[in-house]
Amino acid sequence: MILNSFNDIVFSAMAAAVSNKYTTIEESMNYADNKEIEKFKKMTGILGRYDVTEKQTSSDLCFAAANNICAKGKYVGDDIGVLIYVTQTPDYRTPSTAYALHQRLSLPNDCICFDVNLGCSGFVYGSTLVASLMATSNIQKGLLLIGDTNAKERLPKNKTNTTNTSMLFGDAGAAVLFEKRNGCQIKSSLRSDGTGFKALMKPYGAWRHPTGPERVPSDDIAVFNFTLNEVPDLIKDFILHEGKTIDDYDQMVLHQANLYIIKQIAKRLNIPMEKVPTSLDKYGNTSGASIPITLVEKYGESNENKELNLLMSGFGVGLSWGVMSAQINVNDILPLVHTDEYFDDGIAD
């Protein structure tokens, strides 16, 4: 396996943001009978989620999360040497939305800045990229912004390319501040399987297939089998290579795909659910933001001065999956932000 190890780098702050618009499953599935709704809730664990307003985008939520970290005095704009924005729902086809965020956050010109098109594994991949760039440079602080607004698929005017999994998704954005600090370490391992690139595909609306049908099926069975076979194996290998056991970690935070998958992965790893926090009951599947929003949900209101040793895994579109370990103090996980604000870029609709 490929192992990435970054010494003296730590998560120094974490924040997440959602809108003020909360939608219950009953409201979303008003076309279904009670039996179908209860079956969906039992299988997925989702009771409701937050949807952005019509003009909000994922970058607006990420901006609010990053601003929350800045407001707590964790960084000023000139501190940031790298900004990576991970999303599959960007503001523009070009340029990277990261440049608009760079301007909005008043970051310096001496800053590496770009988007990464990745979904549910994006937190682990994005963290590895930020840590890699910091480890090989004199950058002292970096920002990972990650978020998606997949729930917008359910809006009537956005029905093109809707998948049969769209009812799972909620909208969220997150920000993580990385900092060089002696004695800390981030480790990760990433894997890919391009033979499954069609499994969660949205093929229409880009350059190869500019237009297409209103609804696109996804291969849920292939994704399900991939997750339950490949993800536990990678986590087991990673723990073994670290020379640790699951008892050495305070929490194992998984991508919030659905409750059944989370329970099955925990079962295959013999990890008690008390060590596997969940957030999808309130937020749904928030794609790449699901790991940080789960930590914000669990610890954001806590004032405990405690160092957490975390094991985290993201998996999904690509197919792609990864696992990582990192440390963060509970005090550095900030309360959830609610916002309906959006960026007016001056461009007419």
Is 70 among the residues known to form the active site?
no
| Coil/strand/helix, residue 336 | coil
Instruction: Give the helix ranges, DSSP H, for 136-272.
Output: 220-242, 259-268
285 given a catalytic annotation: yes
Nearest in space to 335 (alpha carbons), one of 309, 287, 299, 294: 299
Q: CA-based Rg of the chain, rounded to a whole angstrom?
A: 19
Category of 117 on φ-ψ map: left (φ > 0), alpha (ψ -120 to 50) or beta: beta
Who's near 266: CB < 8 A, 6+ residues apart? Answer: 252, 254, 272, 273, 276
* Active-site position among 67, 68, 161, 285: 285
End-to-end Cα spacing for the chain: 48
Task: Point out the catalytic residue in the list 67, 120, 161, 258.
Answer: 120
Residue 102 among the catalytic residues: no
Alpha carbon distance 115, 137 (integer Å): 20
Mind telling me the catalytic residues? 120, 255, 285
